[in-house]
Amino acid sequence: MISIKSAREIDLLRIAGKITGDTHKYLAPFIKPGITTKQLDELAYNYIISQDATPSFKGYDGFPGTICTSINEEVVHGIPKNRKLKNGDIISIDIGACYKGYHGDSAWTYPVGEISQDKQYLLIHTEQALFEGLSVIKDHIRVGDIGNKIEAYAKAHNLGVVKELVGHGVGSNVHEEPDIPNYGQSGTGPVLKEGMVIAVEPMLNLGTPDVFILDDDWTIITADNQPSAHFEHTVLITKDGFEILTKR
């Protein structure tokens, strides 16, 4: 059952989404060579708390951080630690904030200092893949319409689509029905209606789409160690389109 949100729930999801987007804006200037992912995590924690919200991911299935910090070949779910960012890295930061029981969820991949042309290509086209996926959204589309659009864009740009991880509904739980895969066939899957809230989140790799999980049981990395990027917005489906709730 995919829930349709009430006006009150939508108001709270708008606030949670704004806090999530604002946390990205707050963190962005700190993303430089020399800072550790643990320091970024602490900054995010303090900012979210200052907004009368709580971090959605901290303690989720036992995840230890406020944010997920995934560097270079790490796809998602990297645990913040004492690793320093280096010039030329890319880092995906995934943020969830909960306000009065409702969540926002947004990931963005940032360059650290000067990055290679390959990495620039990956970032530009993964961000664009997110907006391509969003572009088809309106009342009564199907889940497969989104995935198909993202997959076609990734294929046209020679990027690997991670299939093991997917977008999702968002509400009083950070992960709700339905799954929103970044691949699929148009006209298939659950119908999406006005008033539903979903997170769309392509994860694209410069090389193989294959991934595996590290011994820490969290961090997902690419099978060929090539870099990966992740861009995500939480959006409200409207009659004629969508509203980005996690605007930055």
Binding flag, residue 75, Mg ion (CB under 5 A):
no
Binding flag, residue 94, Mg ion (CB under 5 A):
yes
Residue 214 beta carbon to Mg ion: minimum distance, rounded to whole angstroms: 19
74 phi and psi, to 5 degrees? Answer: -75, 130
Among 29, 97, 74, 98, CA closest to 225: 74
Contact segment (CB under 5 A) with Mg ion among 1-9, 108-116, 216-224, 231-239 equals: 231-239
Binding flag, residue 67, Mg ion (CB under 5 A):
no
Residue 34 beta carbon to Mg ion: minimum distance, rounded to whole angstroms: 26
Looking at the Cβ atoms of 199 and 236, the one nearer to Mg ion is: 199
The count of chain residues that interact with Mg ion, using the rule CB under 5 A, is 5
- The binding track of 165-204 with respect to Mg ion, each residue x by CB under 5 A or -, is ----------------------------------x-----
Of the candidates 98, 107, 115, 235, which one interacts with Mg ion according to CB under 5 A?
Answer: 107
Dig out the tokens for 246 from the structure. Answer: 């996690």
For the chain, how are helix, strand and coil distributed in percent, rounded to 5? 30, 30, 40
Binding flag, residue 19, Mg ion (CB under 5 A):
no
C-alpha angle 200/67/88, rounded to 5°? 85
* Integer angstrom CA distances of residue 136 from 23, 128, 164, 203: 27, 13, 23, 18
Residue 236 beta carbon to Mg ion: minimum distance, rounded to whole angstroms: 15
Cβ 75 vs Cβ 221: under 8 Å: yes
| Binding stretches for Mg ion (CB under 5 A) | 94, 105, 107, 199, 232
